[in-house]
C-alpha cells in the first residue's frame, strides 16, 4: 500500500507521513520566518506498512490508510529525505488522530 511516486515501503506498523505546510502568517497578519515556525504536527499518509504482529503471532491491521490526514506528536518519528522531499516515518501508535 505505498504511494506510486514513493519508492519505499514501511515495515510492520510504520507509517510514512508527508508534513502539511504550516501557516506563513499569524492571525494578526505578521509573516513568520522559517526559524520562528514550529514543527508541523499535521500530515498526509503516503504509505503504510502491513500491520504489526502481536506476541501471539496474530496480525493486527493498520487503522490509517494512504491519503488520510493525521495529527502526530511534535517530536514523533524519524525525519528522512527521499528524492528531495522530506517525510516522517512514525509508528502507528504515534499517530494521535485522523482528521475527518
Which helix or strand (DSSP H or E) is residue 72 part of?
strand 69-72
- Does pLDDT of 71 surpass 90? yes
- Does pLDDT of 2 surpass 50? no
Overall average pLDDT of the 83-99 stretch: 93
Overall average pLDDT of the 69-88 stretch: 91
- Residue 1 inside a domain? The answer is no
Overall average pLDDT of the 71-77 stretch: 90
pLDDT at 75: 87
Domain span at residue 41? 14-99
pLDDT confidence tier of residue 32, bands split at 50, 70 and 90: low
Given the C-alpha cell 519508492, which residue does it identify? 7
DSSP string, 30-65: PBPPGGGPPPP-EEEEEEE-S-EE-TTS-EE--S--
Given the C-alpha cell 504509505, which residue does it identify? 47
Neighbouring C-alpha atoms within 13 Å toward the C-beta of 13:
13
Overall average pLDDT of the 1-26 stretch: 76
CATH at 38 = 2.30.33.40
- Residue 5 inside a domain? The answer is no
- Residue 23 inside a domain? The answer is yes
Amino acid at each position: 500500500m505505498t504511494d506510486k511516486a514513493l519508492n519505499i515501503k514501511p515495515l510492520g506498523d510504520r507509517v510514512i507521513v508527508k508534513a502539511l505546510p504550516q501557516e506563513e502568517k499569524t492571525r494578526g497578519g505578521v509573516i513568520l520566518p522559517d526559524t520562528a515556525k514550529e514543527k508541523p504536527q499535521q500530515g498526509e499518509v503516503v504509505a503504510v506498512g502491513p500491520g504489526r504482529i502481536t506476541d501471539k503471532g496474530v496480525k493486527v491491521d493498520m487503522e490509517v490508510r494512504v491519503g488520510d490526514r493525521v495529527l502526530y506528536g511534535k517530536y514523533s518519528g524519524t525525519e528522512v529525505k527521499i528524492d528531495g522531499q522530506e517525510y516522517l516515518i512514525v509508528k502507528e501508535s504515534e499517530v494521535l488522530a485522523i482528521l475527518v
